[in-house]
Structure 1
Amino acid sequence: MLQLFKRHPNASITWAHLGLGRIVKPPVEYGKFFEKILADPELKHVNFDISWDEVAKYLTSSEQAVANTARIINLYPDRFLFGTDNVAPASQEKHLNVYHMYDPLWKMLTPEASYNVRLGNYERLFDAAAKKVRAWEAANVGKPKKAPDYTPASGMRKE
């Protein structure tokens, strides 16, 4: 996955659910894996989404898990986004369940990190995306494009 991310440095990538799935329990050293990504200058375009109750249950499973998560987010406050990722919640209360699962984490974040994770990073990323889309449209819409000679599904260049 990391090689794929590195091949596309101009893409804004948000890795949903910290890369976890419904039946994927994070390995013990998962935090170190993310710190490696966060510290890599070639991966500054990669952000992480902490939405979904399946993610929240791991990140808040113990005081140590919350402390580890807060430490990493506080070190890299511009790289994380919160979202609920609820499927058809029946009420506002149900919609906020995931948010409240993170209450212990919210208390341990710096004011800057707390703001960025909940709102600031969305504003920054979506505002930048809107500008990139408008620039792409201005450069490409209505203009003929030559198909590339080689476009593999893998994204790897032909040697």
Structure 2
Amino acid sequence: MKWNGLKRGFSISLLACCLLYGCDNKVDGNQYVEKKVNIVTVTEYKPDENMVEKVKEMRKNKKSDEPLYKVYKDLPLIDVHNHQASEFPTSTYEELGVDKTVIFGNISEPAAMNTDRLAWDDFKLRPDLIYPSFAGINIYDKEGIKYTKDNLEKGYLAIGELAAASTYSPVVSILPWKGEDPTSGNLGEIYNLAAKYKVPVLLHIDPPGGAPIEGLKMALTEHPQTNIIFGHANVANSPDRIKELLAKYDNLYIDFFAGYTKYDESSQYKLKDFIPLMEKYPDKFVFGTDGGFGVGYDNAVNAIYETIDLLTPDTAVKVAYQNYQKLIETQPPTITQMNKIQKYADKIGNNKTLKLNKRMANELLFR
């Protein structure tokens, strides 16, 4: 009874404190942070409407012998799929004009938890160049769900690449936390968290047919608010099969690994074979290099520019950066981020109003 009374007394005192001074959600245990900074959530995405005309001008001024990465140097480019956490080739990155990169390292194994941390460290050092993702999720253990939520609260901007299914990849098929299909283990709970935090989920799925794709269809249907990116979906896959998926699922995005189609000898298609599909679904494609797997990073980026050069200006702008940028800029700040900001109120300025999304909150805290 005495303990119950103490708990009631604490609750009343806490309520009074909140009413008088304002307070935010929990930080640790029963500690609350007094609100001194007014945070306004901003999740509306406004693309640069002038970029299409800029692309037209770039093409108008293009010289026949000029490398395409120089022709399109003023067109922002996002690489949504890169495993080079802590080993990112900054000089190559800058030379080839890749403006933002989604960084992670190992995937679907214990070692990935370490490279997840390295990706975050990269982000802290270069927030203007990097979007941090994480892939060290044990989908067969409840700790994997906690790990996911903790990282999303911390400020990670994406989930994946996760090995949702793999039979033929010599690397991915032997990973301990690999799924049998995109509904395996606790992936459903991971998708729910992704929807709550509005982050995209990048999945490795091979083969791109049979049970793995049936599982992808089920995941897309059961989690309509989760944005799922089919990683390197063009690998060993046809435009027609990708088209069938895009025609049915609004929450599906296609990570187009142009380097594979252009440079891998096993590719049965050419870049031009995918252009009609991109033009039909311009809002659903993004570019990834897979860190240059099998073809080299330089080739992977150059193949992206070759694809851009084949697209209409409107579609080129969307696929190059605006589709993924929208997935980032529409993420709200987390409770953890907002509480940390309150702790720095004296440095930020008491009673100051800040308009923030999740990315902005990260960058403010780094400063």
TM-score where L is the length of structure 2: 0.29
Give the letter aligned to residue 53 of structure 1. Answer: G
Question: Which structure 1 segments of 5+ residues have no match?
Answer: 89-93, 139-159
Root mean square deviation of aligned Cα: 2.9
Runs of 4+ in 1 over 6 A off after TM superposition: none
Give distance in 2, aligned partners of 1:110 and 1:4: 32
Aligned to 1:54: 260
Aligned to 2:287: 82
SS in 2 for 1:86: helix
The within-5 A match list for 1:109-148 is 109-128=311-330, 130-131=331-332, 134=334, 137=335
SS in 2 for 1:49: strand
Q: CA deviation at 1:103?
A: 4.1
Conservation of the 8 A alpha-carbon contact between 2:289 and 2:300 = yes
Give the letter aligned to residue 252 of structure 2. Answer: V
Question: Which structure 2 segments of 5+ residues have no match?
Answer: 1-215, 337-367
Total equivalences in the alignment? 118
Structure 1 or 2: larger strand share? 2
Aligned to 1:13: 228
TM-score where L is the length of structure 1: 0.61
Structure 1 or 2: larger helix share? 1
1:70-92 Cα distance to aligned partner (Å, 9 max, x none): 1100111110111222169xxxx
Give the letter aligned to residue 31 of structure 1. Answer: P
SS in 2 for 1:44: coil
Give distance in 2, aligned partners of 1:108 and 1:45: 25
Aligned to 2:308: 106
1:35-87 Cα distance to aligned partner (Å, 9 max, x none): 111122xx1011011137335446xx68x733320110011111011122216
Give distance in 2, aligned partners of 1:66 and 1:55: 6
Q: Percent identity?
A: 21
